[in-house]
Amino acid sequence: MMQANHVLTVPTRGKGFLELTRALSGWLDSFGAGNGLLTVFVSHTSASLTIQENADPNVRCDLLDALEILAPEDRNYAHADEGPDDMPAHIKAMLTSVSLTIPVRDGRLVLGTWQGVFLIEHRTQPHQRNVALNFMGDAASV
């Protein structure tokens, strides 16, 4: 049994989805992961993680639109000190997820054909986001 940890620092460009699948796979390859579980955790309250379709970018556009409807910026929120996008970003992060657990088999993420792992930036301005990775399992067999 082995355990490995890493922190990805991810620069965002403002609101939107950033695919992390390749970075996660590359990290697993870097130390020879075999079978186990990968936990992915974003340590912020205005960004989140999701597993979603990675083939048609219109899916992500529609998802962003849906989140805007659920938590609009033009509402009067009690928490408004950090700008009109801050409280809606907190709501969107709460509605999605800040951590994911993904099975790993033979060193590869067990994802469906059209699935990818994404960081969702909910703030308008670019940010640096920290994504903590933890793999628990065995090493790849030789």
Give the pLDDT band of residue 142 (cuts 50, 70, 90).
low
Contacts (Cβ under 8 Å, ≥6 apart) of 114: 53, 54, 55
Q: What is the pTM of this model?
A: 0.95
Best CA proximity match to 28, nearest among 113, 105, 128, 118:
105
List phi, psi (to 5°) of 16: 145, 180
pLDDT score for 61: 97
Q: What is the pLDDT of residue 111?
A: 98
- Per-residue CA distances from 55 to 51, 52, 122, 131, 135 (Å): 12, 9, 21, 23, 26
Domains of the chain, earliest start first:
11-139 (2.60.120.460)
Q: Over the chain, what is the mean pLDDT?
A: 97
- What amino acid occupies position 105? R
Is the pLDDT at 56 greater than 70? The verdict is yes
